Amino acid sequence: MAMAMRCSCFLSRPNSPRSPPSDQLLRKIHVSDSIVKPLGMQNLLPVLKCQGNIEMRSPVLAFLLANVFTFSAPLKAMAETCEAENSAFNMPILLSVALVGATVGGLLARQRRGELKRLNEQLRQINAALRRQAKIESYAPTLSYSPVGGRILESDVIVDPRKEELISRLKSGKNFLRNQDPEKAFVEFKTALELAQVLQDPTEEKKAARGLGASLQRQGKYREAIKYHSLVLAISEREGEQSGNTEAFGAIADCYTELGDLEKAAYYYDKYIARLETD
């Protein structure tokens, strides 16, 4: 600010007298040399000395001082503020993160594609086994597998009221499932399971557990459904007989497929296919 006020003193008025000779001007410049040198004016002194007796008017000097003052300091400050901070050091880190993300994404996509291909092949085998089983059953639709024996008299049949209620609950649960009402079906199958456990009837216990799994599966509660389908397998292992295991394996595989766990779904589909081929 002090330099700007000093430069303004060189401006001349319209009717100002002629400026003093160059020797007087040179003396003034030498006096103020300590102020002008920091702004780069030291190179201006030889030029003024070479003028000899040529007179210099004050507007020219004011113009030169104004331009030197304007374009010397601000350009350097602007260059310093535009300098980037550590941009060269951040680039390798960003590139490394991008490459790692792309690699992991590619591996997961390849693994997912392999699992889907395996499931597709398993479903083809299941369809083929079901068609083969349906063709075999069509050869003898009226064949009965009841054991050969004498006729059971009505007097020999002991009717237990709890057994009747158990059978009634199982039938009601099936009807509710058929009518797309899985919530009410769950209540009926739950009561039937408790009665079957009290009566220690493993066959009816399996039916009730399978009904509970199907009810929960239709409600979209796949993890709870897996628990009851697995109960069917546990009862089979406990009793040493395998009835109902085929449907249980298939239902568990379907639940894991809905949950997106394709690895476990493939495991149970393998067991389901093996049961279809041996049944």
Q: For 138-172, what is each residue's pLDDT tens digit? A: 333 443 333 444 454 444 454 678 899 999 999 99
What are the sequence ranges of the domains in the chain?
Answer: 2-7+19-75, 160-278
pLDDT band, very low/low/confident/very high, at 60 (cuts 50, 70, 90): low
Token readout for 233 is: 């397998």
**Mean of pLDDT over the chain:** 69
**What is the per-residue pLDDT for 214?**
94
Cα Rg, the chain, nearest whole Å = 49
Token readout for 226 is: 């897996």
Would you give the end-to-end CA distance of the chain in angstroms?
103
Can you state the angle between helices 182-199 and 161-178, rounded to 10 degrees? 160
Token readout for 158 is: 């002991």
Q: Are 206 and 232 in contact (CB under 8 A)?
A: yes
Q: Are 253 and 265 in contact (CB under 8 A)?
A: yes
Contacts of residue 130, Cβ cutoff 8 Å, sequence gap at least 6: 276
d(CA 130, CA 119): 16
99, pLDDT greater than 90: no
Q: Are 65 and 7 in contact (CB under 8 A)?
A: yes
More confident residue, 253 or 50: 253
For domain 160-278, say whether CATH 3.30.365.10 is its number: no
**What is the per-residue pLDDT for 278?**
76
Give the sign of the dihedral formed by CA 48, CA 49, CA 51, CA 56.
Answer: positive
**What is the per-residue pLDDT for 274?**
87
Please give the average per-residue pLDDT across 173-192, as a whole number: 94
- CA angle, residues 108, 109, 110, in degrees to nearest 5: 90
Please give the average per-residue pLDDT across 17-22, as a whole number: 47
pLDDT band, very low/low/confident/very high, at 119 (cuts 50, 70, 90): confident
Alpha helix locations (H) across the chain? 2-8, 22-31, 33-36, 44-49, 58-81, 87-139, 161-178, 182-199, 202-218, 222-239, 245-259, 262-278
pLDDT band, very low/low/confident/very high, at 275 (cuts 50, 70, 90): confident
